[in-house]
Homo-oligomer: A and B are copies of this chain.
Amino acid sequence: MIFKDATLQDVDQALVQSSAAFADYAQTSLKVRAALMRAIAVELDSLGEDLIQVTMSETNLTEVRLKGERARTVFQLNSYADACERGDWLEVSINTADTARVPPKPDIRKTKFPLGPVVVFGSSNFPFAYSTAGGDTASALAAGCTVIVKAHPAHPKTSDMVAGAIKSALKKLGMDENIFIHLHGASNQVGEALVKHSATKAVGFTGSYQGGMALFHWANERREPIPVFAEMGSVNPVYLFPEKLNDNAALFAQQYAESITLGVGQFCTNPGLIIGIESDALSVFVSQLGEKITSIAAGKMLHEGIASAYKIKSQKAIEQNAVQLAGSASNANDTISGTPMVATVDADTFLSNPLLAEEVFGPFSLVVRCKDINQLHQIASSMKGQLTSTLIATEGELQKHSKLVQTIASTCGRLILNGVPTGVEVCLSMQHGGPFPATTDARFTSVGGDAIKRFARPVSYQNFSNALLPEELKNENPLQLWRTVNDQLTKNAL
C-alpha cells in the first residue's frame, strides 16, 4: 500500500475544516469530550488482533509489547477523559463583587478556553501511545481542541487504522468528523506547511532533537507564533552513590541490563549514561552489566533508518579515545538489528568530549567512572536538561550530599530513587518533560492529566450575570468542580 503525501492544498483544506469544526467542538461540555475519548478507546480496542499484526509488521515491535502499549493507550484515553470531566485543569477561580469598595470591585470569574486546532506529530517508537490516538491527541481533545495528526511515515498503515477508529467513534456519537483529521507526509514539507498554517494554534511532538527544533523554529517565526510542546528525548543519567552500590552492585547490574535493552533501547527514558565512582563495587557493577548485556540477543529495531543511526552512533561512541567496551551482544550482521552494548570511560575524558554526552538512541549505555564524589558533582553540573535523573543511593547518602542531589534535580523533570527510568507511569503526578533540550517548555508535561494544560488558555469573565456564564462558572456549581472562590478551594455553590 502506498500512502501519498498530503499536498499543500490538502493541508490548507484540513486546517479550514479543522477550524470550522473547532468553532463547535470548543463549545462542547466536558462530558461530551470525555465521552468521545472513551468511545475512541473502545474503537481502538475493537481493532483487535488485526491492528497488532499490522503494527508488528511496520515496527518490528513484539506482540506482547504492542498489546501492552495499546492497553496503555486505552488507559490514557480513559484516564484523561476522567481528568477532563473532573475539570481541575480548568483551574476555575472566582472573586465575587464588592460594591462597597471604592472603586467598586467587579465580579470576576476565570475558566479556560481551548487554543484551537492542534497539529500532532506522532513518534516512531510508540506507534499507539504517542501517536495517532496517543497522549497529545487525547489531551488536545480533552482541552476542546480539534486535532490534525500527521502520520509517522514509519507506521502509516497503523496510523490509518487508528485514525479510522477515531473517525468511527466520532461517527457513532454523531459528532463532526473533522474534529480529527489524518494526513500522511513522509516529506518535511507537509510538517512545515502544517506548523506554518495560520489556522494552526499549537503543536505536539515526540521525537528527535532535530525534528522538534525544526517545528519550534517554524512556529516562532510565524507572523503569529504558536506554542510547541516538543519532547525530544534525553540520556537520562543514573548516579551511583558508593554505599548503595556497594551493597547492591549485582542487583542493579541486572536491573539496568534489562532497562537498557527494554524494547531494544528505544525509549526516550532509556538510561544512556551511568555515572559512578571508582571502587570495587563499580568494577563489579560494570563487569556484571557487561556480562548480562553480552547475553541479551540483538533485537530488531523500529526501522532501518533507526538501526543504521544506532550502529553509527554507538560505533562512534566506542571508538572515542579512552572509551572501553564493557560488553556487547553478538552482532546480528543485518541492517535492522540493534546490538546491546555497554561501554565505560573515565570522567576526565567524558568531561572533555561533548560527543559522549549525546543520546545514542538504542540499547546502549555509557558508564562514566569518576575519581570521587566531587567529580561526580562536576558531571551533574555539566548536564543538559533531562526527562529523568536517577539516584542509586542510601537515605544517608542523599542527606549527606543534599547539594549534589539539588544539582541533579535542577536538570530534570523526574527524579527516581533506586529504580530505573524506563516505565513512565500514566498518572497525574507524572512529569514527562524537563528542561531544554529534553523538551521545548519545561513548564508542561506530555503524560498525565496535566498534559491537557498545554492546549488551553485562561479567560476571565467580568461583570457577567449568572445566566450568561459558562456552566463551570455558575453560582450553583452545576458541574461540581473544585473552584477557588475568594482565594479558598471549595466545591460549594456561591
Contact = CB atoms under 8 A, between A and B. Distances in A.
A459 interface: yes
Interface string A420-454: 00010101111101011100111101000010011
A440 B225 contact: yes
Given A410-B113, A489-B482, A419 B224 contact: no
Contact of A429 (B103, B108, B220, B409): B108
Contact of A225 (B216, B406, B462, B489): B216
Given A435-B457, A489-B482, A462 B95 contact: no
A433 B113 CA distance: 13
Nearest to A470: B409
Contact of A110 (B406, B430, B457): B430
B417 A462 contact: yes
B425 A108 contact: yes
Contact of A23 (B115, B217, B398, B406): B406
A418 interface: yes
* Copies of this chain: 2
Contacts of A409: 113, 459
Contacts of A183: none
Contacts of A95: 425, 427-430
B457 A442 contact: yes
Contacts of A275: none
A459 B224 contact: no
Interface residues of A, number: 78
Interface string A381-408: 0001100000000010011000100100
Interface string A470-494: 0000000000001010010100000
Contacts of A216: 220, 225
A463 B417 contact: yes
A456 interface: yes
A412 interface: yes
